[in-house]
Amino acid sequence: MLDGKRILLIISGGIAAYKALELIRRLRERGASVPVVLTAGGSNFVTSLSVAALAGETVHGDLFDLTRESEMGHIQLSRDADLIVIAPATADILARMNCGLAHDLATTVLLATDKPVLAAPAMNVRMWQHVATRRNVADLRRDGVSFVGPNDGDMACGEFGPGRMAEPDEIVTAIENHFQATHELPLAGARMLLTAGPTHEPIDPVRYIANRSSGKQGYAIAAAAARAGADVTLVSGPVTLDPPAGVNLVNVQTADEMLEACNRALPADVAIFSAAVADWKTAAQSDNKIKKDGGGPPGLALTENPDILRTISCLEHGRPGLVVGFAAETENVLENATAKRLRKGCDWIVANDVSPHQGVMGGDSNTVHLISDGGVESWPTMTKTDVADRLVARLADALRGVANAAR
């Protein structure tokens, strides 16, 4: 189950740190590699030497060493991991993580990661029951962090109650369950590229060309795909939405930046283009704010933006296996969208009617038609979250079909 998995273990400063040594041993027995970040607090309880001896790798402790040694070392550490485990997770590291603080290597890794995180809390019973810790744990759970323990029992401080770190065997079981569940998810192992939101095309330093896209449908798809186990890169134009949990978010402003970010995110098994990319950008951006100089409105010379969907659909090498476009239309929805699918070279197109009386732009529900080689499927009006879940289920079926055909 854990063969070949890379589990980044963060040992923070609690008396239960000694159990982390046993945890490393058990994980390695099961075939996992276990790079370790030992916090300054953690090193008061276990030594780098004993951790390194058991882990069979150098132990990371200092943010600045690592950054010097290989640029962006903290990003690399989190990128290489399949799972991050914090054991023991003190009240302090949970609080710092919840606030997004990053003043040491452990919290920097936690802030920089898009990988799943499992925490094994260990602390005094009163600290565990304190409203601040309860709030932090609730927030972290909402952000997608999983927890194992703590257990009830006698504590090193002489008190009794919840706060003892889960035993190494229980943590191993939680880790195995995580991989088992992930393995069975419908999009497990699939790489997905997704664009969402509008683009902003600058006119001058204060003005830009934009559109009414809220990004809600794209963000809902990103969240649904991540829940279904996909490795999602969401390339997003400017929106006011919270980043979906477990998604690699790349923020861009313009269509040119969006295309560049998409190219960087390839290869992908599935690419979905839900962004409302501005068709036009200004031929030249003014360096200074354009003034009213009495000469009437300025003539804005426009030039066409790259068509991201078409560019990726027509790639000769490295085209994603399944490319899905969106078609927001205000008239002749099915006709226009069907023609658009062929023109853009994508496999599927999700069409919807965005004429003002429909009120979909920025709203929470959507009425879409899924157009493919097989014809048109019209879905009833539903929430954008339900559209996303249904689309993800269709993607999973399609990918399973490809996998079966390849067998």
CA 242, CA 299: separation in Å to the nearest integer? 37
Residue 297's SS3 state is coil
CB of 254 to ligand CTP, least distance (A): 11
Do the strands 59-60 and 83-89 form a parallel or antiparallel pair, or are they unpaired? unpaired
> Exposed (0-12), middle (13-18) or buried (19+): which is 287, by Cβ within 10 Å?
exposed
Number of residues that bind ligand CTP (CB under 6 A): 16
Nearer to ligand CTP, 68 or 212 (CB): 212
Token pair 């008239």 is found at 331
Which residues within the stretch 232-291 sit at the binding site for ligand CTP (CB under 6 A)?
Answer: 255, 273, 275, 277, 279
Nearer to ligand CTP, 106 or 261 (CB): 261
What one-character-per-residue DSSP string does 91-133 give? HHHHHHHHHT--SSHHHHHHHH--S-EEEEE---HHHHHSHHH
Is 352 near ligand CTP (CB under 6 A)? no
Handedness of CA 86, 138, 196, 309 (dihedral sign): positive
User: Applying CB under 6 A, does 347 fall inside the site for ligand CTP?
Assistant: no
Residue 248 C-alpha from the chain's centroid: 3
Q: Which stretch binds ligand CTP (CB under 6 A): 162-170, 237-245, 321-329, 379-387?
A: 321-329
Distance CA 90, CA 174 (A): 18
* Minimum distance, C-beta of residue 212 to ligand CTP, in the bound complex (Å): 12
Could you give the CA distance from residue 383 to residue 376 in angstroms, rounded to a whole number? 20
Q: Which residues pair with 375 in a beta bridge?
A: 372
Query: Which residues carry out catalysis?
Result: 157
Contact status, residue 308 vs residue 326, Cβ threshold 8 Å: no
- Residues 195-214: x where in contact with ligand CTP by CB under 6 A, - otherwise, as a string: x-------------------
By CB under 6 A, tell whether 308 contacts ligand CTP.
Answer: yes
- Tell me the residue type at 332: N
Closest contact distance (angstroms) between CB of 280 and ligand CTP is 9
Nearest approach, Cβ of 345 to ligand CTP (angstroms)? 11
What is the smallest separation between the CB atom of 106 and ligand CTP, expressed in angstroms?
39
Contact set for ligand CTP, span 323-342 (CB under 6 A): 325-328, 340
Q: Which of 104, 167, 269, 307 binds ligand CTP (CB under 6 A)?
A: 307
Q: Which stretch binds ligand CTP (CB under 6 A): 32-40, 166-174, 320-328, 381-389?
A: 320-328
Nearer to ligand CTP, 128 or 326 (CB): 326
CA-to-CA separations, 212 to 147, 237, 259, 276, in angstroms, rounded? 39, 12, 20, 8
Task: Name which of 84 and 346 has its Cβ closer to ligand CTP.
Answer: 346
Q: Which stretch binds ligand CTP (CB under 6 A): 74-82, 93-101, 280-288, 303-311?
A: 303-311
Q: Supply the angle between the helices 384-406 and 216-227 in degrees, to the nearest 10.
A: 50
CB distance 118 to 175 below 8 Å? yes
Residue 74 CB neighbours (<10 A): 23
Angle at 198 between CA 195 and CA 200, to 5 degrees: 120
Provide the mask over 101-140, with x wherever binding to ligand CTP is found by CB under 6 A and - wherever it is not: ----------------------------------------
**Can you tell me which of 309, 387, 391, 395 binds ligand CTP, judged by CB under 6 A?**
309
Interaction site with ligand CTP (CB under 6 A): 195, 255, 273, 275, 277, 279, 305, 307-309, 325-328, 340, 344
